[in-house]
Structure 1
Amino acid sequence: MRTSARTPRWGLIGASDIAATRMVPAMRRLGHGVTAVCGSSAPRTTAWAAAHGVPHATTSVEDLLARDDIDAVYISTTNELHLPRTLAAAAAGKHMLCEKPLALSLADAWSMVDACKAAGVVLGVNHHLPGAATHRRIRELVAAGAVGRPLAARVFHAVALPERLRGWRLRDPGAGAGVVLDITCHDASVTNALFGTPVEATALTVRQGPWEAAAEDAAMSVVRYGDGVLAQTHDAFTVAHAPTGLEVHGTDGSISAVDVMTQDPVGTVHLRDAAGSREIDVPGRRDLYEVVLEAFGHAVRGTGEPAVTGPQGVHALAVALAVQEAARTGRTTPVVLSPAAAR
């Protein structure tokens, strides 16, 4: 694996909303350099770069990847472009942090992992939730036996899609639209980290929002894990006034965490058992994207690994794809994880 002692200098592939609102500010707070941005429209990309203080703007991925003042790229294009952009960045020897979902198929996702491994570059996936202090604390409690043997989980992650994002996420299935690839894969990054190997999924999806949608905008699923744990999810773009949260139920207790399926370092964690109910202290709250970027920096320096690795990102995608297939067919669907089975 190629390593560098230097703080990463970033090239942005995608002049995106999340790059503008979350990632570039977090990069700068950590002292990371932001060298250039690549977008599909020259006028829009130039304006985006000027608005966010990025020195160089281009519409050529090749030109961005050829720069010797870029060590790593952050890919936040529409989802169908994650594969070709990752393969190009790996061939150019750039480390990369890719938005979720990693790809639109398991075969493509594993090919991205393989390409980065062969090139000796770091691949991280921008699932922000597992690095949140609340989720780290919940994993610690479960691992320490606070709920006994885990039995079930409930994820409530139904939110209102902001008006500025009501574009391809609703209308372009070819780009990876729909709530399952947008939100359910985030849920899976949390439940996979808690319970291990996902086995099968069942699901229903609908289109219920006040818009014309070509993809599902609300979904409920149940995923079975290897030890018989059942994880239920409710994901939506259509719910404006509900909290998000995570519950974990076991033989000896239950954890209830509210406002934790968010992009911000907020939320509360309660434990209820035979001794009663109490709030659990959550130390070390930080910006979730700073956590992702800091871990990525350690991986580039050879002193750690990404907060969510390439294979972990593939496994989150595998759950989302199984949920989509289960909803499409009306049948319980296996979660396919292995590279050989995906191809």
Structure 2
Amino acid sequence: MSTLRWGLIGTSTIAAQHMIGAIRANGGEIAAIMSASADRAATFAREHAIPRSTSRLDDLLGSDDIDAVYISTTNELHRDQVLAAANAGKHVLCEKPLSLTLDDARAMVARCRERGLVMGTNHHLRNAATHRAMREAIKAGRIGRPLFARVFHAVYLPPHLQGWRIHKPEAGGGVILDITVHDADTLRFVLDDEPVAVTAMTSQGGMGRENLEDGVMGVLRFASGLLAQCHDAFTTRYATTGFEVHGDAGSLIGTDCMTQMPKGNVMLRTKDGERQLSIAHENLYVRSVRLFQDAVAGRGSPAATGEDGIKSLSVALATREAARTGRETAIYLKV
């Protein structure tokens, strides 16, 4: 297959701003767009030069000119759309979180596996050059044994993205399923370690409605014994993002790196002083699509697999439960 032909499910901001360009940058073709609203689908198709639009999932999935789908609808819709795509024989790249429950996420991944299809979770942050450089430095032993990590992912959610994220619990709103799930995947990737338990507290800073949290702080315990702190929010207008890992022989200080944009830097600090790691930035979504298309062609696997999506969801759900109960909560990573 020389050209992967895509169908888009969902007229999302991320599709418009990032994924359409990433697919085309990799030589992919976008054959059709589906939205529950026929008018919205038609407008989106016209604005992005997509040949066909539909409001019916069956119409899109029944097309012979589509090899793979990218799903960026609201979270509660992912399960049925992924299962339908797998039943139709389409490869699947799905936004995070995969679903609202672990049972549903496991069923989605299992169905794709049974059909011999590639399934990826669009965890873009593991494609950041900053995080890949940190992972390589840790594997090379440059900070010794990792002991602690800290993730700063508190941002301001702009008005055009607020919507369901702040007032629809049934759609999987709230900062934990929107941002903490990213922290979980990025920590797992950078540390090459698995979290086993979490404690957390949530807050409402005035943006979240319907009892949805718009801020959270959590502490994860990893299998190695490492402790990681996460701070996520929708309500901090002036904060900067960052990712730190501290070992017994050095520290890695990543700044301005928990972002969709290819930017940020990483400082290595040891007994020999400080030095910036060499970073070759690349569009995160272009890399994500490239690795997904390579996997479809039989070369490697997606940047984040369906199994990775299950594990990051498991961490997010355990974080929410820990905040609700006020107790340390086990994280079940069975896929």
Structure 2 counterpart of 1:66, from 46, 62, 66 = 62
For residue 2 of structure 2, give the secondary structure of its aligned residue in structure 1.
Answer: coil
* Cα pair 1:209 1:237 within 8 Å, conserved: no
* Cα pair 1:170 1:214 within 8 Å, conserved: no
Residue 246 (structure 1) aligned with residue 231 (structure 2): no
Aligned partner of 2:241: which letter?
T
Q: How far is 1:141 from its partner?
A: 0.3
Q: How far is 1:28 from its partner?
A: 1.5
Aligned pairs for 1:80-95 (under 5 A) are 80-95=76-91
Runs of 5+ unmatched residues, structure 2: none
Aligned partner of 1:257: which letter?
G
* Cα pair 1:90 1:119 within 8 Å, conserved: yes
Q: What's 1:197 paired with?
A: 194
Q: How far is 1:223 from its partner?
A: 0.5
Q: How far is 1:215 from its partner?
A: 1.1
Q: What's 1:107 paired with?
A: 103
Q: Cα RMSD between the aligned structures?
A: 1.0
* Cα pair 2:321 2:329 within 8 Å, conserved: yes
Tell me how far apart the structure 2 counterparts of residues 228 and 195 of structure 1 sit (CA, whole Å): 13
Q: What's 1:289 paired with?
A: 285
Q: What's 2:270 paired with?
A: 273
Tell me how far apart the structure 2 counterparts of residues 110 and 77 of structure 1 sit (CA, whole Å): 19
Aligned partner of 1:267: which letter?
G
Tell me how far apart the structure 2 counterparts of residues 136 and 275 of structure 1 sit (CA, whole Å): 23
Closer, same or farther in 2 for the Cα pair 1:236/1:213, shift >3 Å?
Answer: farther
Tell me how far apart the structure 1 counterparts of residues 202 and 36 of structure 2 sit (CA, whole Å): 32
Q: How far is 1:304 from its partner?
A: 1.3
* Cα pair 2:207 2:214 within 8 Å, conserved: no
Tell me how far apart the structure 2 counterparts of residues 8 and 262 of structure 1 sit (CA, whole Å): 27
Tell me how far apart the structure 2 counterparts of residues 204 and 34 of structure 1 sit (CA, whole Å): 42
User: What is the aligned residue count?
Assistant: 334
Deviation sequence 1:269-301 (CA, Å, 0-9, x none): 001110111111113x11000010000000000
Q: How far is 1:324 from its partner?
A: 0.5
Q: What's 1:40 paired with?
A: 36
Structure 2 counterpart of 1:139, from 135, 140, 156 = 135
For residue 156 of structure 1, give the secondary structure of its aligned residue in structure 2.
Answer: strand
Tell me how far apart the structure 1 counterparts of residues 326 and 211 of structure 2 sit (CA, whole Å): 19
Residue 338 (structure 1) aligned with residue 334 (structure 2): yes
Q: What's 1:9 paired with?
A: 5
Q: How far is 1:14 from its partner?
A: 0.5
Aligned partner of 2:255: which letter?
V
Residue 176 (structure 1) aligned with residue 155 (structure 2): no
Tell me how far apart the structure 2 counterparts of residues 16 and 57 of structure 1 sit (CA, whole Å): 14
Tell me how far apart the structure 2 counterparts of residues 148 and 211 of structure 1 sit (CA, whole Å): 41
* Cα pair 2:250 2:271 within 8 Å, conserved: yes
Tell me how far apart the structure 2 counterparts of residues 125 and 315 of structure 1 sit (CA, whole Å): 11
Tell me how far apart the structure 2 counterparts of residues 214 and 205 of structure 1 sit (CA, whole Å): 11
Q: What's 2:231 paired with?
A: 234
Greater mean deviation of Cα atoms: 253-262 or 207-216: 207-216
For residue 167 of structure 1, give the secondary structure of its aligned residue in structure 2.
Answer: helix
Q: How far is 1:210 from its partner?
A: 4.5
* Percent identical residues: 52
* Cα pair 1:195 1:229 within 8 Å, conserved: no
* Cα pair 1:248 1:256 within 8 Å, conserved: yes
Tell me how far apart the structure 2 counterparts of residues 286 and 272 of structure 1 sit (CA, whole Å): 24
Runs of 5+ unmatched residues, structure 1: none
Aligned partner of 2:116: which letter?
G
For residue 272 of structure 1, give the secondary structure of its aligned residue in structure 2.
Answer: strand
For residue 166 of structure 1, give the secondary structure of its aligned residue in structure 2.
Answer: helix
Structure 2 counterpart of 1:317, from 291, 299, 313 = 313
Closer, same or farther in 2 for the Cα pair 1:213/1:278, shift >3 Å?
Answer: farther
TM-score normalised per structure 1 = 0.96
Tell me how far apart the structure 1 counterparts of residues 31 and 325 of structure 2 sit (CA, whole Å): 46
Q: How far is 1:40 from its partner?
A: 1.0
